[in-house]
Amino acid sequence: MFQSFTEATSPDQGPPRLAALRRVLAQDGLDGFLVPRADRHQGEYVAGRDERLAWLTGFTGSAGFCAVLAEKAAIFIDGRYKVQVKSQVASDFTPVNWPETKLEDWLVEALPNGGAVGFDPWLHTSAEIERMEKALKPAQITLRPVSNKIDAIWDDQPPAPEAPAYAYPPEIAGKTSGEKREEIAGALRDAGQSAAVLTLPDSIAWLLNIRGGDLPHLPVTQAFAILHADARVSLFSDPEKFDDLGPDPSIDLAHWDAFTPALEALTGPVRVDPATAPHQVKLILDGAGVEIARGDDPCILPKARKTEAEITATKAAHIRDGVAMARFLHWLDDTAPGGGLTEIDCARKLEAFREETGALRDISFDTISAAGAHAALPHYRVSEASNATLTPGEVYLVDSGGQYLDGTTDITRTIAIGEPSEEVKSAFTQVLRGMIAIHRLRFPKGLAGQHLDAFARAPLWAAGRDFDHGTGHGVGVFLSVHEGPQRLSRISKTVLEPGMILSNEPGYYREGGFGIRIENLIVVRTAEPVEGGDDRPMLKFETITFAPIDRRLIDATALDPVEKDWIDGYHAQVAAKIGPHLPPDTANWLKHATAPL
């Protein structure tokens, strides 16, 4: 199995670890230390040895950070985790709503007489540090780059991951690594830049057409790289990870230790992404007098614009995954009425159906298997301690996905267990209407996710409701299930372009009561001209996720005819695409689950 369900970290472990950290800070003359949930690659997933925030505080959410001072310790979390953090951390750590309260503002208030706050420059980006330094300067608070103080007290810190790298088929990627390198190198030459520093493992995996297993659920190899303007690549990692790959004369492989000398030997200008590269990269280049050209990681946008080969492969992965999902939903309908079914039972059964496809490499993230009030926690993670039973009259929310060689999937369905209340049906229908609005959109070329996000929220807003997460995130192809820079979010300024894959997942959450989210993946496509239009270039979304939406939760009287037609049309596609691949009993169940409203 790819997912384990362990006991949550005990909050009791936090206070003694906090005391040990404070002793180290006092010895080093520091007034504070920053503990992000990050590694030196700044990705969403971190290896066990980099789970410093969880080790210190007990908080296991996917985003957050801690600021430790001599008398105060604050853990900063966003709206997704305001309930979860209360059960995972000791009272020695004070939860702070972020980004409503910025770290720099909190530090100014907590250190009125100034002070020195340490940070590990490998674990923070230059953009982050520069923003805070500017805000803290009037208060005479300095940020001091230091060695990691958590590592100094974490005696049983796990070793670094050692999974081997392997080649990714160019027929799925749609381009060879050589073609990608020449394309990006050409952009560097056009910009007058000698090289680009790459620190994101998924960028390196995409560029070199390789995959790996260093991180949970993200098939990458941890590495740094320098792409030179002549398309050569200097790659830094543990060389033994690459033993199974054939030699490439245009790729120079070296140990991690060679990264700093290689940076120092560069001739600028060198492109560095201040939003993703560790601040230590800037410190090294500045120290060597190498000119820095600030700019986005040059692989990010080309990676986001999927080739037709990638889209075709991903569609196949989603049909396969849809079969597993239909089998699971059928099993759930048959099993849940008998009682006794738990969140972990459901997560394991869904994963088993995916494994039975024979193509599953991993799940794409820890399954959110949430019954009743747990469904109100958008990023709930079930453990043996929290494992709840599915109860009639409640809803069950499952957000899950698979990693297949030909694609990454992510789907959420909310299912009625027994007879749903009218309040739940009303909220579900509002969420569904927002989802449909995104699916049906045609929009002018040049718009970003921030311009579209409100369409998913409008039905909820009309009822005085909203949700605290973005409407959608980018998705990779056998890479990160949360891929940037494309998003459907009120803060996203990235222009949407054909080929980008996104999720469409509005929701509604009643704390202590219930939670609703419905999610499909969509691809940005060029829209056909409309008769009578002004020939303005337009885009649309193509749906690639196919699984039934629980009709028992839909208040059909609240839908307009166009929305009803969309649901019936979508369910007809589900039946046509998934039905032929199902065993007879599940095919019969699907026929009823996708019947017209």
Under CATH, what is the fold of the domain 166-301?
Creatine Amidinohydrolase; Chain A, domain 1 (3.40.350)
- Stated as kind and residue range, the H or E segment containing 227 is strand 224-228
**Token representation of residue 93:** 């750590």
Residue 223 region, left (φ>0) first, then alpha (ψ -120 to 50), else beta?
beta
Using the predicted structure, report yes or no on whether residue 58 has a pLDDT greater than 80.
Answer: yes
Give the mean model confidence (pLDDT) for residues 549-574. Answer: 98
Name the DSSP class of 577. Answer: H
Structure confidence by residue, pLDDT tens digits, 184-198: 999 999 999 999 999
Lowest-pLDDT range of 242-246, 365-369, 394-398: 242-246
Residue 479: predicted pLDDT: 98
Using the predicted structure, report yes or no on whether residue 7 has a pLDDT greater than 60.
Answer: no
Largest CA distance in the chain: 74
Structure confidence by residue, pLDDT tens digits, 194-217: 999 999 999 999 999 999 999 999
Structure confidence by residue, pLDDT tens digits, 90-117: 778 888 888 889 999 999 999 989 999 9
CA dihedral sign, ordered 266, 269, 270, 272: positive
- Which residues partner with 198 through β-bridges? 225
Domain ranges of the chain: 11-145, 166-301, 305-593
Using the predicted structure, report yes or no on whether residue 432 has a pLDDT greater than 50.
Answer: yes
User: How far from chain centre, in Å, is Cα 411?
Assistant: 13
At 174, give phi and psi (nearest 5°).
85, -10
Contact, 391 vs 374, CB < 8 A?
no
Q: Rounded distance, CA 475 to CA 486, Å? A: 9
Coil/strand/helix, residue 301: helix
Strongest mean pLDDT among 83-87, 158-162, 381-385: 158-162
Residue 9: predicted pLDDT: 62
CATH class of domain segment(s) 11-145: alpha beta
Q: Rounded distance, CA 431 to CA 423, Å? A: 13
Contact, 148 vs 52, CB < 8 A?
yes
Residue 222's identity, in one-letter code, is Q
Q: Rounded distance, CA 351 to CA 1, Å? A: 8
Identical fold between 11-145 and 166-301: yes
Lowest-pLDDT range of 4-8, 17-21, 243-247, 328-332: 4-8
Contacts of 529 (CB under 8 A, 6+ apart): 535, 538
Cβ atoms < 10 Å from Cβ of 97: 12
Structure confidence by residue, pLDDT tens digits, 231-276: 999 999 999 999 999 888 899 999 999 999 999 999 989 999 999 9
Question: For all residues of the chain together, what is the average pLDDT?
Answer: 94
Give the mean model confidence (pLDDT) for residues 9-13. Answer: 75
- Which residues partner with 408 through β-bridges? 403
Structure confidence by residue, pLDDT tens digits, 476-508: 999 999 998 999 999 999 999 999 999 999 999
Structure confidence by residue, pLDDT tens digits, 523-552: 999 999 988 888 899 999 999 999 999 999
Residue 148: predicted pLDDT: 96
Model pTM score = 0.93
* CATH number for the domain formed by residue range(s) 305-593: 3.90.230.10
Residue 1: predicted pLDDT: 47
